A = this chain, B = another copy of it.
Amino acid sequence: MDGAAEVRITRREHFSAGHRLFLPELSDAENYSVFGPCSNPKGHGHNYRLEVTVAGPVDARTGMVMDLKRLHDVVQAVILDKVDHRNLNLEVDFLQGVQPTTENLAWAFFQELAPHIPKGRLRRIRLEETDRNSAEYEER
């Protein structure tokens, strides 16, 4: 394979978590007008689908951009172990003070993962909150 060719690999993971979208300075009614039912004060949750994309040249011997098993292990340790079956507003260190929208989660997951992936290789985080709503953050 041409040494310069870049291939992208994607690992898909799943987790379930609770969250609430709200601004503490607003009343419940005001929060509802901004965030809709996602502002429910007693919380709710989702099954999130997470995609992590890594890009790079393909190793001539192994045929891999990066071992997908190792990529899974990194995502498990850095993200899934902290968010799965957790309350995203209250229990995740790197989300303190972050509004847990799909947009912010995608961006925050990228920042958390990047130091654990060979430099410049983490390309994209895509996160589905439901079958209908998703967000992605990409760096090229």
**A residues whose Cβ falls under 8 Å from a Cβ of B:** 1, 5, 7-14, 16-19, 21, 23, 34-38, 40, 42-47, 58, 61-65, 68-69, 84-87, 90-91, 98-104, 106-107, 130-138
The 10 closest A-B pairs by CB, nearest first: A45-B45, A63-B99, A37-B85, A63-B101, A42-B87, A18-B44, A63-B104, A18-B43, A47-B47, A18-B45
- Asked whether A101 lies within 8 Å of B45 as measured between CB atoms, the reply is no
Closest B residue to A45 using CB positions: B45
- Asked whether B101 lies within 8 Å of A134 as measured between CB atoms, the reply is no
What number of copies of this chain does the assembly contain?
6
Question: Considering the chains assembled together, what is the distance between the CA atoms of A134 and B7 in angstroms?
Answer: 11
